[in-house]
Chains A and B, each alone.
Chain A
Amino acid sequence: MLSRVAETLYWMARYVERAENIARLVNVNNLLLMDLPKGVSPGWEPLIDIIGTRELFRDLYDDFSENSVLEYLIIEKNNPSSILSALLNARDNTRTVREVIPRQVWEAINSSYYFVKENAQGALSKRGRFFFMKHVVESAHLIFGALDATLNHNLGYTFIRFGSLLERADMTSRIIDVRSARLIHNQTSRPFENIQWMSVLRSLSAYQMYRQQMGVRVRPREVLQFMLQDNMFPRSVLFCLNTLRRLTEDMPNNVDMVDRIEHSINELRAQNAAKLKDTNILHLYIDELQIDLADIHQQLSEQYFLH
């Protein structure tokens, strides 16, 4: 496996995963806003914080209106994490390694990009939005499914999965960070507390799994535990880290990689979910986690990518 190809496959997967996660976020926010009383709704601004590019957004747009935020998240060329940019990047990366990717996967990435490019305007309208996002999510599933079913599970596939899971862990941690701040600070907020935490789960398609796995109603502590530390849920941070740890076993000269990831796993296991309910403590821990994830990427890049 060429270093340059490993790097490209890794980024291709990260970008496809990113497009999927952004689409998911938008859909859930849409549903959440319909449930919340007018006037207390947090609107679309939190999504910009989840993506973590508030400054860039401010440079490009005057307000946090629905239209501005959606445009920024779906088609903004200057936002490297917009759905269109992510798929364009995925496509450009795939183009340079077309020879190692099954044709069907290249075709799927290609059509997904064209779909977004040609239908983005529809996604800005309330009516077309749900189907647009659903299509983006399904395309990503198709791409990863086709990779799993048709690509040799070799080192290249290891880097693909690594990219996808690291991106996923990163996104999960961001969603927890931004969404766990109390949405509404007054006494009438009780009925909405539940909705808020449900929407956190739904952002990760985790609601149904949570119910099955935790067997309790939606409570902050259990939700945090489920999304951070669950061993079974494929979008929990721990699940992603455990899988990354397993993937490194297939990589050559992997001693440092393994140590790096194990350190993060131990840190995460040691967190007490009851304490994390406190927004400030949670926030500090998520910052640490984010730094950890960035370190894992750095380590991978130094060890395996082209210099």
Chain B
Amino acid sequence: MSIDWQMYQSSGFFDELIDDNGRPRQSGQALVRFLSDLSTKEMEAARAAAELAVKEMGITFTVYGEGSSIDRAWPIDIIPRIISNDEWQQVEAGLVQRVQALNLFIDDLYHEQHIIKDGVFPRELINKSVNFRPQCVGISPPKGVWAHICGTDLVRNNDGTFYVLEDNLRVPSGVSYMIENRSVMKRVFPDLFEQISVLPVSDYPSQLFDMLTAMSPRPLDTPEVVVLTPGIYNSAYFEHCYLAQEMGCELVEGRDLVVNDDDCVYMKTVSGLLRVDVIYRRIDDLFLDPEAFNPDSQLGVPGLLRAWREGNVALVNAPGAGVADDKVVYTYVPDIIQYYLSEPAILPNVQSYRCNESDDFNYVVENIHQLVVKPANESGGYGLLIGPKSTREEQLQCIERIKADPRNFIAQPTLNLSTVPTLDKEQVEGRHVDLRPFILSAGEQTYVTTGGLTRVALVKGSLVVNSSQGGGSKDTWIVEEEGL
């Protein structure tokens, strides 16, 4: 008994592999042929092989507050998500455009604020922004780049179009899983890769390293690049290690670094102090430097901001880049693109209501049972209200929260996220997915990952894909259309 694709129902959502008539889409034909030939037993064996590979390779993620075991095996579904290369080229262009505009926007906010003076962006949003850092005003990081690494979340709606859901410009994570998912799939279905040409994803670490070295304040052949991690209890620790390892640079904790009187950063080595040029920091702004931000932080390095301001060290992403990582700012991104680049946005935003504007606010209050309400600065799916799945009481509480701080909320229609066939016990069923590509900016050059991390809601009907809340993942294949 193998998978019966005839029985597969896309049930009213846009399915990425199977069209409404139950036939595989053009770019997924070879995959469906391959999967159809597998018996239930072979499918089960493949799933077990994937689980074993994950365990052996030690691909883990951490969930807070789990007490004894701090890491969990990373969940991978073995049916890949396929996107045709033609479509991907469009998405890539849209992402490059978006991140370029966002970097110009951040740089403008910390300097002349033309966009505010020209009336395109309201000043009050900056005054009330929790991620605007007054400490960064007037600073010009190398090549004008603030958000060197961006993880932008994309979703497909019923119309089959990719929409941008949010931009993560602080310390976006997940890219290591994108690469590891591919390694696992190669172990599980080596023969499948012979039949389909899937574009590779493994050059991300070297692209990342090149971008980081390009930011070095000292013109050296081999600048000292380090990855700064909060330590093994951080939920993304696996990734911090992984990237440091792949780039061949030191993974440091705050206690390994020191800023001396010369305002330079050094690391403590067995031979004494060694100067550091570039810090890929995976610690949030407020914990980076107890001298400049949160004085209680044990994770940071006293004086780090001072060294950065003096131009003696590069911080990636730059402190203050998070000002654009705000759901309310998000609603202005199409205007931001138009303003700085004089082009319309290639990738559309999801229609959004700003709770601090009275018309929108009234609409949100009246229709809250149909909307998704998001706080401006939470990540990881925390603090969301999903209207159709909430009680009236929860909705009323949410409205009170909005009233108390309207600038801090936006609302969006509940999206019909697209689905991808996913193995559930012995059968294949559609599960909702999103996609997080990663964009690297080094000034004149911008690099986008080939595809990205596909996250999948493993629970039937669920829209929550975050791994911290039980979501899984799939390998993402960018493929050339067959017969072209």
- Whether B294 sits at the interface, judged by CB under 8 Å, is no
Whether A306 contacts B57 by the Cβ 8 Å rule is no
Across the two chains, which residue of chain A brings its CB closest to B268?
Answer: A3
Q: Which of A92, A103, A251, A304 contacts B245 (CB 8 A)?
A: A103
Contacts of B240 in A (CB 8 A): 99
Question: Which chain B residues (260-307) contact chain A, with CB distance < 8 Å?
Answer: 267-272
The answer to whether A2 and B268 touch across the interface, beta carbons within 8 angstroms, is yes
CB neighbors of B among A72-104 (8 A): 92, 95-101, 103
The residue that A304 contacts in the complex, of B58, B252, B255, B270, with Cβ under 8 A, is B270
Chain A: minimal CB distance from B70 (Å):
9
A252 at interface, CB cutoff 8 A = yes
CA distance A6 to B268 in the complex (A): 11
With an 8 A cutoff between CB atoms, is B253 at the interface?
Answer: yes
- Beyond contacts A4-B253, A98-B241, A99-B241: 19 other A-B pairs, Cβ-Cβ < 8 A, are A1-B269, A1-B270, A2-B250, A2-B252, A2-B256, A2-B269, A4-B256, A6-B270, A98-B245, A99-B242, A99-B244, A99-B249, A100-B245, A101-B245, A103-B57, A110-B55, A252-B272, A304-B270, A306-B268
Are A99 and B245 closer than 8 Å at their CB atoms? yes
Beta-carbon contact of A96 and B269 below 8 Å: no
Known: A103-B57, A107-B56. A3 touches B269 (CB 8 A): yes
> In the complex the two chains form, is A252's CB within 8 Å of B271's CB?
yes
B101 at the interface (CB under 8 A from A): no
- B116 CB within 8 Å of chain A: no
Within 8 A of B (CB), among A207-257: 251-253
* Residues of chain B with a CB closer than 8 A to A6's CB: 270
A97 to B237, CA, bound (A): 11
Q: Most chain-A Cβ atoms within 10 A of its Cβ — which of B227, B237, B250, B267?
A: B250
Quick check: B270 and A3 within 8 Å, CB to CB?
yes
7 residue pairs A–B, Cβ–Cβ below 8 Å: A2-B268, A2-B270, A3-B256, A4-B253, A98-B251, A99-B245, A111-B56
Candidate in B227, B231, B245, B249 with the most chain A CB atoms within 10 angstroms? B245
Q: Return B222 CB to nearest CB of chain A, in Å.
A: 15
* Set of chain B residues within 8 Å of A1, measured between Cβ atoms: 269-271
Contact between B232 and A114 (Cβ–Cβ < 8 Å)? no
Considering the chains assembled together, what is the distance between the CA atoms of A6 and B272 in angstroms? 13
Residues from chain B with Cβ under 8 Å of A5 in the complex: 250
* Contacts of B422-477 to chain A: CB distance below 8 A: none
Whether A155 is near chain B, meaning CB under 8 Å from some CB there, is yes
User: Is A106 an interface residue when CB atoms closer than 8 A count as contact?
Assistant: yes
- Chain B residues, CB < 8 A from A252: 270-272
- The number of chain A residues touching the other chain, given as a range, is 20 to 34
Given contacts A2-B269, A103-B245, A251-B270, contact A96 B232 (CB under 8 A): yes
Contact digits for A26-53, partner B, Cβ 8 Å, 1 yes 0 no = 0000000000000000000000000000
Kindly provide the distance from the CB of B129 to the nearest chain A CB, expressed in whole angstroms: 34
Chain B residues at the A interface, C-beta cutoff of 8 Å = 55-58, 227, 231-232, 237, 240-245, 249-253, 255-256, 267-272
Q: Which of A1-30 contact B (CB under 8 A)?
A: 1-6
Given contacts A99-B227, A110-B58, A306-B256, contact A2 B241 (CB under 8 A): no
Chain A residues, CB < 8 A from B243: 99
- Chain B residues near A101 (CB, 8 Å)? 245
A-B contact count (CB 8 A): 67
Nearest Cβ distance between residue A85 and chain B, in whole angstroms? Answer: 15
Question: A61-78 vs B: 1/0 string, CB under 8 Å?
Answer: 000000000000000000
In the complex formed, the residue of A with least CB distance to B257 is: A2
- Chain A CB count within 10 A is highest, among B227, B240, B242, B268, for B268
User: What is the bound-complex CA distance between A111 and B227, given in angstroms?
Assistant: 27
Contact residues of A between 179 and 215, Cβ < 8 Å to B: none
Complex CA gap A111/B244 in Å reads: 22
Q: With A and B bound together, what is the CA distance between A6 and B271 in angstroms?
A: 11
Measured between beta carbons, the chain A residues less than 8 angstroms from B253 are 4
Q: Tell me whether A107 and B270 are in contact (CB under 8 A).
A: no
Q: How far is the CA of A210 from the CA of B244 in the complex (A)?
A: 45
A305 vs chain B, min Cβ distance (A): 8
User: Per-residue 0/1 for A261-290: is the Cβ within 8 Å of any B Cβ (1 yes, 0 no)?
Assistant: 000000000000000000000000000000
Quote the shortest CB–CB distance from B11 to chain A (angstroms).
Answer: 40
**C-alpha gap A212/B58 in the complex (Å):** 42
CB distance from B241 to the nearest CB of A (A): 4
A103 to B248, CA, bound (A): 12
A33 to chain B, nearest CB (A): 36
> In whole angstroms, how far apart are the Cα atoms of A251 and B271 in the complex?
8
Q: Which residue of A lies closest to B245 (CB)?
A: A99
Interface string of A97-123 (1 = CB under 8 A from B): 111110100110011001000000000
Residues of B within 8 A of A110 (CB): 55-56, 58
When chains A and B are docked, how far (Å) is the Cα of A62 from the Cα of B241?
A: 44
Complex Cα gap A114–B51 (Å): 14
Among A6, A99, A159, the most chain B Cβ lie within 10 Å of the Cβ of A99
A140→B267 CA distance, assembly (Å): 32
Chain B hits for A304, CB < 8 A: 270
How far is it, in angstroms, between the C-alpha of A159 and the C-alpha of B267 when the chains are bound? 18
Report A5 CB to chain B, min CB distance, Å: 7
A96 to chain B, nearest CB (A): 5
Q: Compute how far the CA of A304 lies from the CA of B268 in the bound complex, rounded to whole angstroms.
A: 10
**Cα of A92 to Cα of B244 in the assembled complex, Å:** 18
Closest to B237 in A: A95
**In the complex, which residues of chain A have a beta carbon less than 8 angstroms from the beta carbon of B270?**
1-3, 6, 155, 159, 251-252, 304
* A98 contacts across to B, CB distance below 8 A: 58, 241-242, 245, 251
Q: How far is the CB of B50 from chain A (nearest CB, A)?
A: 15
Q: Is the CB of B255 within 8 A of A306?
A: yes
Which residues on the A side are within 8 Å of B256 (C-beta)? 2-4, 306
Residue of A nearest to B227 (CB): A99
Closest to A97 in B: B251
Report Cα–Cα, A117/B414, bound state, in Å. 46
